Structure 1
Amino acid sequence: MAAEILQQHRVHGGTLSYARHASGATGTPMRFSFFQPAGEGPFPVLIWLSGLTCTEENFTTKAGAYAAAARHGVAIAAPDTSPRGEGVADDPAYDLGQGAGFYVDATEAPWAAHFRMESYVTADFLAVLEESFPVDPARRSVFGHSMGGHGALTLALRHPQLFRSVSAFAPISSPTQCPWGEKAFLAYLGEDRTAWAEHDAALLIEAGAAKGRFDDILVDQGTADSFLEGQLKPELLEAACAKAGQKLTLRMQAGYDHSYFFMTSFIDDHVAWHAERLSA
C-alpha cells in the first residue's frame, strides 16, 4: 500500500515528507518521515531508528542531518518507534510499550498482537519506501540512537542482505545486560534468555554474525552520557568485536551527553561515512 502524504516541507533543496501507511506486521497505521534530496533518483537511502519516547518527528527537527544528506545525494527515512493507537497495548513507564518497541517481534501477551517492529522495519517499511519514493533498494544502510542504535546494530546483523553499512550513536550495546533491555525483553520475549540473545548486538557479534559482512562499524559515544555505565556499556560491544575480529570504530566524544545536541555535532560524519559505502 502506497504511503499517504500528510505534510511536506522544502529543506536544503530537497523535500521532507511526513507520511502514513497501513502495516500488516503491526496491524496498525504507521507514520514515518522521508527526506528526498534534489534530483530524480533513484537515491541511496539511510534508515534512521530513533530511541525511547521518540516518534518519526524527533530526528527531522533535532538531528540536523538534511544538509549533509543533500550534499551527498542521500535520502533518509525514519519510522516511528512503535505501533500506536486505540487497542494497542501500552505501559505507564517511558521504557515499555508505545514509543519503546525495541525493534523486536514480541511473542508475549499483550504485546504480540501489534509489537512486531523487526518485521515492520525490515519488510513493510522498506516496501512502502520503494513503492512511494524513488529509492534504490540495492543501496540501503541503517543507523540509530540509543534504543535505535541497538535496533540498527541488531537488524543489520540479523538481516545483512538488506543493509550495506551500519552505525550508531550511544547504542544499547548489550540489552541482555542492562536494565532497559532486561525489562523490555522480559515483557516482549518472555523468560527464555536464549531468545533474548538473538537481539543483543554484542552477543551476536561475539557469535560471528558480523563475519565478512561489514568492513567497519561506526559508533559515537559521549563521555558525559548519564546512561553510559548502567545502560549502554560500549565496552561490551568493543570486547565482542575484538574477540570476533570485527573492525569497530568507537569514538568516545569528550563531554557530550545522550541528547540530540550530541547527535547533531557528529551527524555529518555518519552521513558521509555511509554515503561513501553506498556509492562503492
Structure 2
Amino acid sequence: MERIEHRACSGGWQDVYRHRSEVLGCEMNFAIYLPPQAAARKLPVLYWLSGLTCNEQNFITKAGAQRYAAEHGIILVAPDTSPRGDEVADAEGYDLGKGAGFYLNATEQPWAKHYRMHDYIVDELPALIEANFPATGARGISGHSMGGHGALVVALRNPGRYRSVSAFSPIVAPSQVPWGEKAFTAYLGEDRSTWLQWDASELVALASERLPLLVDQGDADDFLGGQLQPQRLQAACEVVGHPIELRMQPGYDHSYYFIASFIGDHIAHHAEAL
C-alpha cells in the first residue's frame, strides 16, 4: 500500500491509500479515518459505500463524519465505487461503468473481468484493513443511494459478517427501477431472475439474520418516486417481520447536506452495535 494523503482531523488522521486489488485487477484507492483512540487500541470499523459518480473523496470531505467517529471511537473506511484504470471497461453516462459499480459481481462481458465490487467490499478490503490497521473484526456498513443499495445487499447476503447496517436514500429495489435495470442488464444479463440476489427488497424474505435496518430518506429528494421507492423495502420487511426504521425527513434532498445532517445519528446507531 501507498499512503497518498495524510491530514489531521478531529484529533485523529484522515488518510487515503492506494493499493493493488487482486479481486478487481486494478489499482484502487480507499480513505480511512483513524480516530484518536486508534493510537492506543484496536477499534471497530464502519464501512461507507458512496453513490453514483462518487469516489473515496466525497464522504470524507462532505459528510462531517470524522467528529462523530472520534466521539465514539470508530474507524471509518470509504472505498471507491468501482474499479478504475485504462484497462477497465467503461460506458457513456454516469450510471454505468466507472463510478457505478453497484457493489455486485458482474457476470457479463466486458464487465466480469473487473467489476467484482461485492467481493472486494466483503472480503479483500476488510482483510487488508484488519491486517494493516488497529482494527478489530467488528464491522458495520452504511452508504448513500447506490451505496445504500450496496450496504443493504452486502449485509443481507453475508449474515454474521456485520453487526450493523444503515443507509441514506438507498436504491432499495434496483430490479424494479431504471438505474438498476440499466446496470443489472449490463452487468448480469437479461435473465431477471439473477437480479434478485442483488435486490434488498427481495433479499429480506430470505435473510437468516434479522439485522435491524436504519434508513433515512428525504421527502424532497428528486429521485424518491422514480428511483428509490423506500416503501418497497418497508413493505417487504413488514411481510417477514424484518426490523426496519424508515425515517422520512421533511424538506431534505439527495445531497450531502442531507447526509451531514443525520450522519451523527447513524454513527451512534452503529456504535451501539459495534
Bin the TM-score by the shorter chain: over 0.9
Task: Note the 1:38-187 alignment, pairs <5 A.
Answer: 38-39=36-37, 40-137=40-137, 139-187=138-186
The amino acid that maps onto 1:246 is: H
The amino acid that maps onto 1:48 is: W
1:208 maps to what in 2?
A: 206
Deviation at 1:92, TM superposition (A): 1.3
1:18 to 11, 16, 19: 16
Deviation at 1:111, TM superposition (A): 0.5
Check the 8 A contact 1:106/1:188 in 2, yes or no.
yes
2:31 maps to what in 1?
A: 33
The amino acid that maps onto 1:213 is: R
5+ unaligned residues in a row in structure 1: which ranges? none
Q: TM-score, normalised by structure 2?
A: 0.98
CA distance in 1, matches of 2:215, 2:155: 14
CA distance in 2, matches of 1:184, 1:59: 23
Cα RMSD for the two superposed structures: 0.8
CA distance in 1, matches of 2:206, 2:246: 19
CA distance in 2, matches of 1:41, 1:187: 44
1:240 is aligned to 2:236:
yes
CA distance in 1, matches of 2:41, 2:19: 22
Equivalent position SS for 1:44? strand
1:188 maps to what in 2?
A: 187
Check the 8 A contact 2:49/2:144 in 1, yes or no.
yes
Equivalent position SS for 2:216? strand
1:6 is aligned to 2:15:
no
5+ unaligned residues in a row in structure 2: which ranges? none
Deviation at 1:208, TM superposition (A): 2.7
The amino acid that maps onto 1:80 is: D
1:257 to 249, 253, 260: 253
1:223 maps to what in 2?
A: 219
The amino acid that maps onto 1:125 is: L
Equivalent position SS for 2:269? helix
Deviation at 1:247, TM superposition (A): 1.2
CA distance in 2, matches of 1:248, 1:123: 26
Equivalent position SS for 1:185? helix
Equivalent position SS for 1:54? coil
The amino acid that maps onto 2:179 is: W
CA distance in 2, matches of 1:72, 1:130: 19
Instruction: After superposition, give the CA deviation of every residue in 1:124-175 in whole Å (9 maximum; x if it has no partner).
Output: 11111112211101x1100000000000000000012210010000000100
Deviation at 1:212, TM superposition (A): 3.7
Identity among equivalent positions (%) equals 56
Check the 8 A contact 1:102/1:148 in 2, yes or no.
yes
CA distance in 2, matches of 1:184, 1:153: 17
1:273 is aligned to 2:272:
no
Deviation at 1:191, TM superposition (A): 0.9
Check the 8 A contact 1:146/1:172 in 2, yes or no.
yes
CA distance in 1, matches of 2:159, 2:79: 19
